[in-house]
Structure 1
């Protein structure tokens, strides 16, 4: 295999290894989010290796993943899920304020599509995590009071529910560490 063919296969979304690369990227993303959940909820973890071994025994994957997290931490207040949403950084303020009920809001469409793809029921509590540039945001349907009123969030009516979009920092701090006991 020559150099051009090697790099062509490496960055080709339709190559033989593309599915495996996408899976590894998603698993790496999920592991980063799970570590973020622990840290931002105020839970100090030592020994991530123990959790990785537990995850490998349950799911067969070396990286921490949402499937393992959701089955292991049943007291977490919602199903944790998420993924990168392509071209999300290109949304304008006008795109964000379009009517979600009319199907015009690109953010709501992307979140709904990914929730359906990951088979997450919007009738139960969920937290869908996604990055925008260098900040992690989440869309959720939880009704959690921060108490001090410092959370900045955006609420919208979508698919017969109220969905809230905010940074993961503010949501996970509001959730706190009680679920991990």
Structure 2
């Protein structure tokens, strides 16, 4: 079985990305320590088959000046969110998983992913057989041209570009992600 097929190279990728990442503050540094401990204790801590918690990869898609943000209305949760989802054993890296999910959920293909995570977000989700189950989300920044027309995926009921001044109702985690993208792109 190849390293990609058994997921070991994906495990290594996740560990490497998180080890190299410089968290923007103490809360994010603690989440990083928790994610690394999770991965070090579980050989497939990235997999949705990992009971209780597993990594996910998401991406905030925005314009270069962050004046436009692409969000998807998640079909099951009924909330406007960034694109993202589970890692697959066929993903070569954590970054590839984030980009795959961004393409699948937006219908856009001309995307530029910053390989450095923006933020980490640990949140309880209604998936898996064990309750509670947590997504250990690694959130990336993706830049795209807002003139591109997105398309709705099977996982959402809507996907569209929003002006930062006219965002739909979003939760704090999405607002924090938009602010982090703005800070990074202004640097």
| TM-score normalised by structure 1 residue count | 0.30
* Structure (1/2) with the larger helix percentage: 1
Larger Rg: 1
| TM-score normalised by structure 2 residue count | 0.30
* Structure (1/2) with the larger strand percentage: 2
* Greater RCO, 1 or 2 (C-alpha within 8 Å, sep 6+): 2
